[in-house]
Amino acid sequence: MAGLYRQGGDPARRDLLGAGRTHQGGPSQRRRRRGRDPLRRRPARSLHVIFLTTVLALFALLILGTPIAIALMISGLVGYVLTIDFEPGLNALAQIAYGDLNSFVIGAIPLYVLMGQIMLKGGAGKDLFDLAQRVVGRLPGGLGVAAIFACAIFAAISGSSTATVATIGSISIPEMLKRGYSRRMTAGSVAVAGSLGILIPPSISFILYSLVTNTSVGKLFMAGILPGILLALLFALYTVVQSLRENRLGIAEQTTSETPPLEWRALGSLAMIIIVLGGIYLGFFTPTEAAAVGVVYALALTAIFTRTLTAGLFWAALRDSVVTSAMILMLIAGAGIFGNTLSLLQVPQALAGWLDSLQLAPWEFLIAVNLLYLVLGMFMDASAAILVTVPILLPALQALNIDLIWFGVILVINMEIGAVTPPVGMNLFVVQSLRDDYSIREVLAGSLPYALMGILGLIIVMLFPQLALFLPNLVN
C-alpha cells in the first residue's frame, strides 16, 4: 500500500502503492517527464519543514477529535499540496485512494465482517461458551478457562475483539461472579482473551498487513495459529493458578447434571473455522473466496439449520457490517494517502539510512520496534497502526533480512496487548459497560496480569520464530 517497496530487493515482485508510483498521467509522473520534479527543486530543509507540517497537522486533527481516516487524508493532502501544488496533489490522492481500494484481496474484508456479524447475531457465542464449559469446566477455575477458550474461538469466527468481549462477557461474567470468582479475574480474563481475534485467523489485521508488505495472506493466517493457541493456553494457565491461590475452584465444583449438554450447533460453528481455513490451506479457495464461502455457510447454519437468525437480525447484521467495513476501507484509503505523502518526502528512505548508520543488530531493532508498538497500542487500534507505520519500517525490515511473516505475528501480538491498555483500550471499556458496578480501574487491574502473560507469549515467539513459521514452512 503506502510506500514503493519490494520484498528482499526482488525486482520481479509487484510494487505496492508509493510515491512516484506509475499512475497513468499521475501528476508526479507528468512533472518528472517534463523535467520539473518538485523534489529536485526543494532543498532538504524544505522537505523537513513539509514533513513536520504534515505530522503536526495529523496530530492537531486527532486532538480535535477528527476520525483517524479523515485526519490521515487531510494531513496527507497538506503534504502533497506543499510539495507539488494543490491541483496535481488532489488528483494524485484520488488515484492513490482508488488504487488502494481496487484490490481483490480487500474484497475479503467486508465478507469476513459480514460472516462474523451473521454468526454473532445467530447466537454462536452462547453455543461456543457452553461447549467450552463442557470440555474444561471441571478444571480449577474452569469457568474462567471456558470463557477464555470461547473468546478465542468466537474471536476467530467474528474477527472483532469488541464483539467477542461483549458477547462472551455478557454470558460468562454473571455466571463467574455467582460462583465466587474475583471481580478482577472475571473482568480481566474476558477483556484480554477477546483480543485474540486479531491474531487467530481469519484476521483482518493480517489481511491489512499483507496488503502493505505484499506477503501471502494464507501464510499469515497459518502463522497466527500456534502463537494464538500459545497465548490462549498462557491465559488459561494463569486463570487455573490464580484460582488455586484464591482457593476458589469455581466451576470445578459443579455436578455432572449442571454441565451444559453438548449442542450440535456449537460443532456447526467450529466447522466454519475448519471449512474456511482448511479451504485456504488446501488450495480450494483464495482468502477472498473463502470469506464468501464462510458467509454462505453462516447463513445456512443460522437461518436454515438452527433458525436463530431472524429477518430482523439479518438486517442488523447487514447494517453493522456496512458500517464496520466502510470504516476499515476509509482507513485503508486514508493511510494509503498519508503513507504516500511520507514516501514522497523520502521519510522511509531517510529512516532506513539512519538505522543503517546506527549499525543495529536485528534483535536490537526488534526490541526498539516492540517498545514502539506497545506504546502505539495505547493510542491506536491495530488497523491504523499497521497501515501507518509498517510502510515506514518496511525498508529497514528488508535491509536487516527480518522475516516479514514472523514480524507480522510479532506486530499483531503487540497490538493485541495494546487492546487492553488505556487510554484507547476498547476492550476495557466494553467490559466495564457490561456491569454498572464495574469501574474502569477495576477492569484495568484485572487485565494487567493477563497482559503480562501476553508479553511473555510475545517473548517466546521472538525467541522461537518457528512457532510462527512452522506451519507456513510446512506448506512450502
Instruction: Give 295 or 378, the one with higher predicted confidence.
Output: 295
The lowest-confidence range among 12-26, 198-212, 433-447 is 12-26
389-410 pLDDT, tens per residue? 888 888 888 888 899 999 999 9
Asked whether the predicted pLDDT for residue 143 surpasses 70, the reply is yes
Strands (E), 345-452: none
251-272 pLDDT, tens per residue? 444 444 455 555 667 778 778 8
Question: Which residue from 411, 442, 431 is spatially nearest to 162, judged by alpha carbons?
Answer: 431
What are the extents of the domains in the chain? 107-328+413-475
Give the confidence band of 476 by pLDDT, cuts at 50, 70, 90. low
Asked whether the predicted pLDDT for residue 249 surpasses 60, the reply is no
Which residue is it, cell 486532538? 63
Question: Which residue from 29, 32, 37, 27 is spatially nearest to 77, judged by alpha carbons?
Answer: 27
Question: What is the Cα–Cα distance from 224 to 240, expressed in whole angstroms?
Answer: 24
Residue 386 CB partners (closer than 8 Å, separation 6+): 205, 208, 209, 212, 411, 415
pLDDT of residue 10: 38
Q: Quick check: 217 and 206 in contact, CB under 8 A?
A: yes
Give the confidence band of 164 by pLDDT, cuts at 50, 70, 90. confident
Q: How far is CA 79 from the centre of its chain?
A: 28
pLDDT of residue 456: 93
Asked whether the predicted pLDDT for residue 279 surpasses 80, the reply is yes
Asked whether the predicted pLDDT for residue 315 surpasses 80, the reply is yes
Asked whether the predicted pLDDT for residue 61 surpasses 60, the reply is yes
63-107 pLDDT, tens per residue? 888 888 888 888 888 888 888 777 777 777 788 787 778 777 788
Residues of the chain above pLDDT 90, percent: 10
Question: What is the Cα–Cα distance from 108 to 114, expressed in whole angstroms?
Answer: 10
Give the confidence band of 345 by pLDDT, cuts at 50, 70, 90. confident
